Amino acid sequence: MLLHFITTELHLHDPAGIYNREEKLLESIITPVRMRQSLELCQKYKLVCQEEKVRALWDTGATGSCISKGLASHLNLSPIDMCIVRGVSGSTKSNVYLIDILLPSNVSINNVRVSEFLDNGAFEIIVGMDIINFGDFAISNKDGKTIFSFRIPPSDNPIDFLEQINKENPGHTQDPA
């Protein structure tokens, strides 16, 4: 369609991240984020660019990010394309929208192509690997408490649990599978 020339951009001035500590084990990671229709799109076509604070599910099983049909409708977003979405329940045609996702700490991920999903009441945005790949993503579950953190840009000291285990247990070196 008409907007294939717009590419996803990451805007940050300093390392930034999201941190969420819960007093229980979580079955899913849902955090607040802000979103709006792509600012570049709004400026180019003189559209009203309304920002919303929404709940986002962080999903490493999602190749791309998504927006709920209800939120897209509420913000009066216009689709820029169509795509086929493949999931556990099969394949379906979906509208594609262009949005900006604003993470805490003033991290703005602009011009994100998102497909549409049916509302479930628990979250309005799915943050997929298209965004998670910009940084480091970690979940820790110690003492019955979940800690989630996400950092952009990636750290110079990557997390490698196998390397840590091998250092803690000399002589019992494990190889990656």
Q: Domain holding 101: CATH number?
A: 2.40.70.10
Confidence band of 79 (pLDDT split at 50, 70, 90) = very high
Q: Distance between CA atoms of 11 and 72, rounded to whole angstroms?
A: 23
Both structure tokens of 177:
């599978």
Nearest to 81 by CA among 47, 124, 113: 113
**To which H or E segment does residue 165 belong?**
helix 161-168
Q: Is there a domain that residue 89 lies in? A: yes
- pLDDT for residue 174 is more than 80: no
Q: What is the domain extent for residue 152?
A: 9-168
- pLDDT for residue 64 is more than 80: yes
Q: Is there a domain that residue 99 lies in? A: yes
Determine the distance from the C-alpha atom of residue 41 to the mean position of all C-alpha atoms in its chain, rounded to a whole number. 20
- Predicted local distance difference test score (pLDDT) of residue 5: 44
Specify the pTM: 0.87
Q: Is there a domain that residue 78 lies in? A: yes
- pLDDT for residue 34 is more than 80: yes
Confidence band of 131 (pLDDT split at 50, 70, 90) = very high
Q: Distance between CA atoms of 95 and 155, rounded to whole angstroms?
A: 35
Q: Is there a domain that residue 174 lies in? A: no
Mean pLDDT value of segment 43-53: 92
Q: Is there a domain that residue 140 lies in? A: yes
Q: Is there a domain that residue 111 lies in? A: yes
Q: Is there a domain that residue 154 lies in? A: yes
1 or 50, greater pLDDT: 50
* pLDDT > 70: percent of the chain: 87
Task: Give exposure, 132-146, as e/b (b: 16+ Cβ within 10 Å).
Answer: bebbbbeeeeeeeeb
Tens digits of residue pLDDT in 85-108: 998 889 999 999 999 999 887 789
- Predicted local distance difference test score (pLDDT) of residue 94: 97
List the alpha helices (DSSP H) in 27-160.
Answer: 39-45, 69-74, 129-132
- Predicted local distance difference test score (pLDDT) of residue 170: 83
Q: Distance between CA atoms of 55 and 70, rounded to whole angstroms?
A: 13
Q: Is there a domain that residue 175 lies in? A: no
Number of domains making up the chain: 1
- Predicted local distance difference test score (pLDDT) of residue 158: 87
- Predicted local distance difference test score (pLDDT) of residue 19: 62
